Amino acid sequence: MSEFEQYRSLFVAESRENHENLVNNLLVLEKGTDQNAIDEIFRSIHTLKGASASMGFADMERLCHTMEDVFQLIRNGSAEVSEELGNILLACTDLIEEMLDDVEAGGDSSSKNPNEQIQALRAWLKEQGVTGKEKTEPPCRKEAETNTPEEIQSAASPAADSGPEFTMTIVVSPDCMMKDVRALIAIQNLEALGTILSLKPSKEAIDEGEFDGTVHLTMVSDAGEEALRTAALGTEIATVEIKLLETPASLPTEPLLAKKAAEPDRKQPAAPDKNREIKNLRVDIVQLDHIMNLVEDLVINRGRLKQISEEHKIKEMDEAISMVERSVSELQNLMMAIRMIPLSHIFNRLPRVARDVAQYDHKDVEFVMEGGETELDRSVMDGLNDPLLHLIRNAVNHGIEAPEIREKAGKPRKGLVRLSAHRDRDNVIIELVDDGAGINVEKVKKKAVEKGLITAEAAETLTADQAIDLLFQPGFSTADKITDISGRGVGLDVVKRAIESLKGTIKVETTPGKGSTFELLLPPTMAIVDVMIVRIRNKRLAIPISSIVEVANFKKDGMHRIGNGEVTMIRDEVLQILWLNDMVGSSDRCEILIVIQYQKRKCCIPVDAVEGQQEVVVKPLSGFIGTTKGISGVTILGDGDVVPVLDVNTMQE
């Protein structure tokens, strides 16, 4: 990977963080003036502008510069963010996101022309009576740029350190892709060794990208010529010229030194700690996935070693394997913790979705998020963005009524959509609740009959839950007309497929006139799980421990038939019996019942024997096999046996 490509990936990663911060704080300003949000926006825009200028992405730099001009007025209290300006700024953030996508794909963002957004911002500035760029720039920057080197020298001289005076010329290599960053690093290193009396161009000008690659400076230092040269030199620095002035004009005189001694409060700033420890690293997710695969191999071989140890009964081997087992367990737990990501990473993008849909539909909606600190494995997180996007669009578009309708129904004009997440045992539950009109079951049945999904006779016999399940059929929509938001029948079917592909489930509860709740139940990870190994007709099966409620004796005389199924009584509960005849064949020796639970429904599986509990690596089924109902994947045990892992979520459907 070239050095520029390394800079590119770093630029994209940091710019996306600033972009997300920018969007979130713009949404905060729509609710009212917030000085902290304004400061955060200004900081993010300024950082984006400087980074894009350093990388040579001129179009992005122009757009950010104009946005900075706008927010300079807002920060000074000369203007406020109106709805019209908010829409323009959010359109700018959308374009910045597209530019970042282009840069990440290897482009230079020039394919995304920002002229339309820039003209809209300039038109707003003109309305505010701003005719020149200089009126919107920070006073500190203007002052720094108008001062001459002599003025800077004059201002700096009274606080200068004692020692010889040097003039230096630093030339950054023409091949350097981030000349300003490289120059600022050299300047920072020199500041640690003395006092810079004059600097051309100024730090502010370098930071703004007004830099041709050459820095001229004068400084006082007693570190010596070689120390200064070493501090200024580095990768991508072409030349460093140093000249000692014979009669340093800026050396403090004796009276000045005496005055300085009499003013102990005027201290020079402490030199920055150049040996600061690096505490955080950015790691490519591909490398983490590779490490995870290696950890999975260790878990499989740990089981194999443990089995060999039990067979041969070698004391020394048992002790060694115990140490290895402990290390592998710690490594596995550490790796799982590293892969866990807070849900806030995707939650933070969703307020913008709710805001845009509400504005499109002319609705007043308050969007609330809770539980963003709840963590999920990255493999689960990757597939969750689209389902949440569809659910929020659905809640605002279909669930929340228009303000006038809500008012007539005795509700507040502003609707509420709440997205929350929490842990329940080993699973993560995400709920999306709205206080809208709820799901009109009769309308759902009518639409299903119109689209030919069911007959009119079958529709009359459907329960409310069965009718709601129709919402997840491909091509189904209750919208009366097609709009940019809904009506094409693409949405909830996508949600269900995506959640099921993550081995999760979705449940819907609704109350007419009160609102609806969509509940997503997701596994925290899809890689390594605790299972119970059971046998039926000498064939092994693995059942996730998180789904097992208890293990009980199977009394066949307590079995009863109800309709086409069979049930048994356990602890005063009537539980359905799930025979796995289609999977492993029928067995007459079943003496044990494994009671499992899916959401709030319990059932039991008869098995011949229970071998024990162990951690296994679940591998997905091959694409040649496809998805199999009741099977989430396979695992390889220590003796090399390939065992299917039951998917309790789909067994009871």
* Residues with a known catalytic role: 46, 68, 394
Q: Which is nearest to 55 in space by CA: 179, 156, 193?
A: 179
Tokens representing 580?
A: 């796995």
Furthest C-alpha separation in the chain:
110
DSSP 557: G
Q: Report the C-alpha gap between 487 and 119 in whole angstroms.
A: 35
Taking CA atoms, 307 is separated from 211, 313, 378, 619, in Å, by 67, 10, 32, 21
Neighbours of 177 (CB within 10 A): 19
The CB-side HSE value for 350 (13 A sphere, CA atoms) comes to: 29
* Burial of residue 192, with CB atoms counted within 10 A of its CB: 0-12 exposed, 13-18 middle, 19 or more buried: middle
Q: Report the C-alpha gap between 539 and 607 in whole angstroms.
A: 10
Q: Name the 3-class secondary structure at 522.
A: strand
Tokens representing 66?
A: 């104009």
Q: Which is nearest to 64 in space by CA: 121, 13, 6?
A: 121
State the angle between helix axes of 179-191 and 35-55 in degrees (0 to 180), rounded to the nearest 10: 110
Tokens representing 447?
A: 């639409």
299: which residues sit within 8 A by CB, 6+ positions away?
Answer: 328, 332, 528, 615, 616, 617
Q: Report the C-alpha gap between 68 and 53 in whole angstroms.
A: 14
Q: How are beta strands 601-607 and 505-511 bridged, if at all?
A: unpaired
Q: Which is nearest to 521 in space by CA: 345, 387, 329?
A: 387
Phi/psi region, residue 26 (left: phi>0; alpha: psi -120 to 50; beta: rest), is: alpha
Q: Report the C-alpha gap between 493 and 390 in whole angstroms.
A: 10
DSSP 253: P
* Cis peptide, bond prior to residue 342, ω within 30 of zero: no
Strand order in 528-536's β-sheet? 609-617, 528-536, 539-544, 642-646, 631-636
Q: Which is nearest to 638 in space by CA: 327, 334, 325, 330?
A: 325
Q: Report the C-alpha gap between 172 and 211 in whole angstroms.
A: 10
Taking CA atoms, 67 is separated from 96, 266, 356, in Å, by 11, 38, 21
Find the angle CA(130)-CA(204)-CA(239) to the nearest 5 degrees: 145
Q: Name the 3-class secondary structure at 207.
A: helix
Q: Report the C-alpha gap between 48 and 65 in whole angstroms.
A: 9
Q: Which is nearest to 156 in space by CA: 180, 148, 227?
A: 148
* Helical ranges in 464-521 per DSSP H: 464-469, 492-501
β-sheet bridge partners, residue 567: 560, 576
Find the angle CA(18)-CA(19)-CA(22) to the nearest 5 degrees: 85
